[in-house]
Amino acid sequence: RIVYVNGHYLPEAEATVSVFDRGFLMADGVYEVTSVLDGKLLDFPGHALRLERSLAELDMASPVTPDELLAIFRELVAQNGVTDGMIYLQITRGNPGDRDFAFPDPASTPSTIVAFTQSKPGLADSPVAKSGIKVISIDDIRWGRRDIKTVQLLYPSMGKMMAKKAGADDAWMVQDGFVTEGTSNNAYIVKGGRIITRHLGHEILHGITRAAVLRFAAEAQMVVEERAFTLAEASQADEAFITSASAFVMPVVAIDGATVGSGTPGPVATRLREIYLEESRKTAL
C-alpha cells in the first residue's frame, strides 16, 4: 500500500512518525473516515468541513485546505487502485521533540498528517445489511466533547470487545438513561413511521452520514424527531438502525438479546440505505 505522510506518498513500510508525536503520546489528534465507491469519495465536503471544525475546537491549525485534501485522497485512491473502500485521515499536533502536557508552539511544531486507504471490495453490497446487526448496551463513560472527532478511541474499542464477548456486533452507549450513540456510529429507532435519533450537542459525534440521511428522509416526506430516546423506548420500537461513513445505513435487529420489531431489517432502514447509496453516489467526487 502507498500511504501519505506529511506531503509524501510512500510505501507503508517506509512511512514513519516520531515516538514523540503527540498523537501517539497523548491522543492529541483528530481523524476522518471517508468511503470510496466506484473510485469516488462519498460526502467529501461534509468530512472536510467537520475536520476543520475538529481542528478549530482543539486550537490546531489546518495543514491542508479542503481542495488539497481532496487531491491527496484522489491520489491515494489512484495509486492504490481502490474501487470500494475507505480513506483514513489523521492529523495530530505533531512532534515537539519531547513529552510535555502544554501544547507546543505551532510555528516550530507543524502538525503531522497521515492518510491511507483500506480496500473493501463490495462495500455497498455487504450481506450484513440484509441480516442486520445485534447491539448490546453499555454505559457511556467517554469524555464530554464527543462532537470533536479525536483519536481517543480506547473506550469505543473496549465497547466493541464487550459486544463481541456477548455475541453481538456493536454497543449502544447510554448516559443518564438515554442512548447517546454506537461505538462508531449514530443510533436511530423507528416508531409508528417516525424516525427518532438523538439531537446534536457535545454528547455525540455529528455524523456526516446522519446529516445526509436526515436530509434524504425529509425529502422523502418521512417524519424525523431529533431527541434523546431510552433503551426501554428502543425495545418497543418497530425498527432500529445505525449510520456511519463506512456502514452507510445498517439495520439493528436486536438490542441486549431482545429482537427489535420483527427481528429482521425493517422497511424504513432498508429504504434509507437504498436512498443514501443512490443519492450519495450522485454527489461523489
Positions that interact with ligand PMP (CB under 6 A): 33, 181, 184-186, 205, 207-210, 243-245
Minimum gap (Å) between residue 88 Cβ and ligand PMP = 10
- 160 catalytic, yes or no? no
Q: Active-site residue among 40, 149, 164, 165?
A: 149
- The helix (H) or strand (E) run that includes residue 253 is strand 248-255
| Coil vs helix vs strand at 264 | coil
End-to-end CA distance of the chain: 22
Strands ordered across the beta sheet of 40-41: 8-11, 2-5, 112-119, 85-92, 29-37, 40-41
Taking the least distance from each CB to ligand PMP, the nearer of 26 and 33 is: 33
Taking the least distance from each CB to ligand PMP, the nearer of 33 and 70 is: 33
Minimum gap (Å) between residue 219 Cβ and ligand PMP = 18
> What residues contact residue 113 under an 8 Å CB cut-off, 6+ apart?
4, 5, 6, 63, 64, 89, 90, 91
Positive or negative CA dihedral for 152, 103, 97, 90?
positive
Taking the least distance from each CB to ligand PMP, the nearer of 74 and 206 is: 206
> What residues contact residue 23 under an 8 Å CB cut-off, 6+ apart?
17, 29, 90, 92, 93, 112, 151
Minimum gap (Å) between residue 89 Cβ and ligand PMP = 12
Taking the least distance from each CB to ligand PMP, the nearer of 22 and 47 is: 47
Taking the least distance from each CB to ligand PMP, the nearer of 136 and 208 is: 208
State how far the alpha carbon of 250 is from the alpha carbons of 79, 132, 183, 210, 240, in Å.
Answer: 30, 6, 14, 12, 9
Catalytic residue numbers read 149
